[in-house]
Structure 1
Amino acid sequence: MPRTVTSCADCFAWGLTYAQGICMPCYNFAAPHKGYPSGECAACGRVQRLKQGYCRLCWCQAREDRTRLASDARSAVVLAPYLAGIRWQQLFLSLSDRRQAPPRTAPRRYGTKGRPSKQPPPHAARPRSAWLQEPLLPPGPRHYRAVVDLRAGPPPDNPWLAWGLHLAHTIAEARGWEPTAQRAMQRVLVMLLAEHREPDRIRVSDFAAVTARQYINLDYVVEILTTMDIVDDDRPASLEGWMATRLAGLPGPWRRDLSNWARMLRDGSPRSRPRHEGTVRTYVAAVIDAAASWPQRDHLREVTRADVTTHLATLHGRRREAATTALRGLFRWAKTHKLVFRNPTHGLRGPKVPDPIWPLLEPDDISASVTAATTAQARLCVVLAAVHAARPGQIRALHLDDVDLAGRRIIIAGNSRPLDNLTAQALLDWLTYRRERWPNTANPHLLVSTASAMSLAPVSATWIL
């Protein structure tokens, strides 16, 4: 947009003007999305864009008149009474039109970045109760709200709140939380514990929305309340919601049996160990695809061996291996619980897909991949995968102690490997960025993110991808 120094065509202010010879405030005032109509100004009579019948120049003049004529608090805030009395215009420079911050009512406190950190909460322990009043009726849902502004006064005098604030401060110091996260946690704890009494229990479903409004991770709040042993985590398992969505298109008997089988896989049984939730989702998704290919089968007992082999013939590689394992496990479980008369997968053997042997990358390919990565963490992940053949899970599991820059060694999945120049430089770049971005984090992992920097867990699988 071309710029020049001249008088604005709309407000006559001297300064930088842009398209159509107007200054930036007048350009924004006439923006189409604001919907201000054009017409004759009620004060100056010019044909301009009008806000409530007055042009921008008259609004600026009304602000000047208010500063000079206001006699009480209300007159110092409202502009409308001064618009009708405008009879002249005081020209100004475009820079002088910028609004100034109101004067401070209290002296500035000096310290780190101008404001010293507040004193940490005093040490506190679990309150001792001489007696307990058991509730007569089960408690209903509670609605938490702000009780006190911690910037204006101390927290309420409640021993449970004092203990919660002490625990939050201890965790924040140990994990290097940012001050904004510490203040958000304090506000949430004040809302939850200001009126807490033993043996009351706090349900997660009652305050989940509170943590979202305060921009604090719900799991961190649950961790503190779990340490205090006053929380009931009634959140539905993530697998339940996923199954309800994926199984919605199947007949009722399929939904019932697949849900029970998936819960058995997740929780385990006397004769089987619990499976990882990712494994459960993979198996359930494979069975759902198979059930979708059998629209005429409304129950597990109606599935024949021909149905199974026909479906598996349409799959290849890893998908066929996973589907075979899932179907065998499902019908074995159904036969044990007497849901089917015969197991249609008895004796069925699926293909064993060998792990692929990845060819070595040429130096030019590695250089091109590293150059394409635009961030320090992306370059490090590319180098570890391309040079050291590290898998995503192994990269996420790397600790700071696994890197020995002085000795030029790195330990990946328990194997010590020499550090080449490319990997060493990528590690130096990432460690420099990590120290500048999260200087106080206590996370021992090599890779950290904004979320994992506040905890001790590795980065998520989706972050590294």
Structure 2
Amino acid sequence: MPGRYCSGCYTYGQQHAVAECVGCRRQVPVDDKYGYCRLCRARASWAIKAGGKASVIEPYLRQVTCRQLFFANLQRPKNGGSPVGKAGRRVLKPPPPPEPPHVITGWVQLPLFTLPRDFRRFDRERHADLAIPWLVRARQTARALGEARGWSRWIVSDVDRALVIVLSGYREGEPIRYSELFPALRVRGLPVMRTAEVLDHLGLFSDDRAPAVDRWLGRKLRGVSPGIRRDVEAWARTLLDGGPRSEPRARQTAWTYLNEIQPVLLEWSGRYDHLREVTRQDIATGRDAATGKQRESR
């Protein structure tokens, strides 16, 4: 290879002195034990593998009497290309285009009512508009975030596809909601959270998901009368978040407490509208109905 070496040949040359190879008679780095270059040793190794059984390399080295040939134009390194410039240096990559200025319009059209957008119907051939300023800016932001966060080129490509889907046809002042983003990207196997991160970096993202605590309380207090539900929900949030005179408890503690009293709350909701109506006898009855560890927790 004229002036170019693979990593194996380069390392071999760093570890061995240059001398005449016994096999191919070239002035190349050879090993100290047998006096053969790396390519001759490779030919001997191939002969051993062709024989189908392990063997010492010395007898096969003696059979090497010809030079290693190459196919034309296949001896280039992985980042191949014609060398240009002085001493074969390559031209540096051009700098990325400057970020387009953010155009601030003097007015914004206020929506009369809000309709959810369905990005699942997006067709790139018909709907893609790559010249939208917000899309151009978002794609540049995604590349910058990818370099900063160490995203692979596949992730960067997927985020770029997702941005084209959600920002083609984008109008100034319309946030991209999570409830609109998630179905369209999940069905295509595109990253939702990384796309949301890029949109949030530009101030275009609106997270309209209900908090996990709200969803949990909604499931546990389903069927409880509104008056009782309001007081129990305030008590559960105090357990989780703490209060002026109490420290926050572990989440598992709040879950356990609410799971234990849920049947009693449902029973009381059939007779009462507020916890103020619950009598001492009702509390004693609920306590006596429990057994074992359930009784201890109450």
CA distance in 1, matches of 2:107, 2:151: 36
- Equivalent residue, structure 1, for 2:168: 194
In structure 1, runs of 5+ residues without a counterpart are 1-109, 113-118, 325-465
Instruction: Report the CA distance between 1:173 and its aligned residue.
Output: 2.7
CA distance in 2, matches of 1:289, 1:120: 66
User: What amino acid maps onto 1:139 in structure 2?
Assistant: T
Among candidates 194, 214, 217, match of residue 188 of structure 2: 214
- Matched position secondary structure for 2:293: coil
CA distance in 2, matches of 1:220, 1:120: 25
- Equivalent residue, structure 2, for 1:133: 108
How many residues align? The count is 201
User: What amino acid maps onto 2:124 in structure 1?
Assistant: V
Among candidates 312, 315, 320, match of residue 293 of structure 2: 315
- Matched position secondary structure for 2:144: helix
1:228 paired to 2:202 = yes
Give the alignment's Cα RMSD to 1 decimal. 3.9
Distance 1:256 1:173, change over 3 A: same
CA distance in 1, matches of 2:78, 2:254: 53
1:124 paired to 2:99 = yes
- Equivalent residue, structure 2, for 1:285: 259
CA distance in 1, matches of 2:194, 2:147: 14
Contact 1:132 1:199 survives alignment (8 Å): no
In structure 2, runs of 5+ residues without a counterpart are 1-76, 80-93
Instruction: Report the CA distance between 1:195 and its aligned residue.
Output: 2.3
Contact 1:294 1:307 survives alignment (8 Å): no
1:365-398 per-residue CA deviation (whole Å, 9 max, x = no partner) reads xxxxxxxxxxxxxxxxxxxxxxxxxxxxxxxxxx
Larger RCO, structure (CA 8 Å, separation 6 or more)? 2
Instruction: Report the CA distance between 1:268 and its aligned residue.
Output: 5.6
Among candidates 216, 236, 244, match of residue 242 of structure 1: 216
Distance 1:284 1:135, change over 3 A: same
Among candidates 257, 260, 279, match of residue 231 of structure 2: 257
- Equivalent residue, structure 2, for 1:165: 139
Instruction: Report the CA distance between 1:275 and its aligned residue.
Output: 6.1
Instruction: Report the CA distance between 1:185 and its aligned residue.
Output: 1.5
Distance 1:296 1:290, change over 3 A: same
User: What amino acid maps onto 1:315 in structure 2?
Assistant: K
Among candidates 177, 198, 201, match of residue 203 of structure 1: 177
Distance 1:198 1:294, change over 3 A: closer
Which stretch shifts more, 133-142 or 273-282?
A: 273-282
Normalising by structure 1, what TM-score? Answer: 0.36
- Matched position secondary structure for 1:187: helix
CA distance in 2, matches of 1:290, 1:213: 42
CA distance in 2, matches of 1:295, 1:196: 49
- Equivalent residue, structure 1, for 2:124: 148
Normalising by structure 2, what TM-score? Answer: 0.53
User: What amino acid maps onto 2:122 in structure 1?
Assistant: A
Matches within 5 A, 1:320-335: 320=296, 323=297
Contact 1:120 1:169 survives alignment (8 Å): no
1:182-215 per-residue CA deviation (whole Å, 9 max, x = no partner) reads 2222111111122223322222222220121122
Instruction: Report the CA distance between 1:129 and its aligned residue.
Output: 1.1
Instruction: Report the CA distance between 1:158 and its aligned residue.
Output: 1.9
Distance 1:295 1:139, change over 3 A: closer
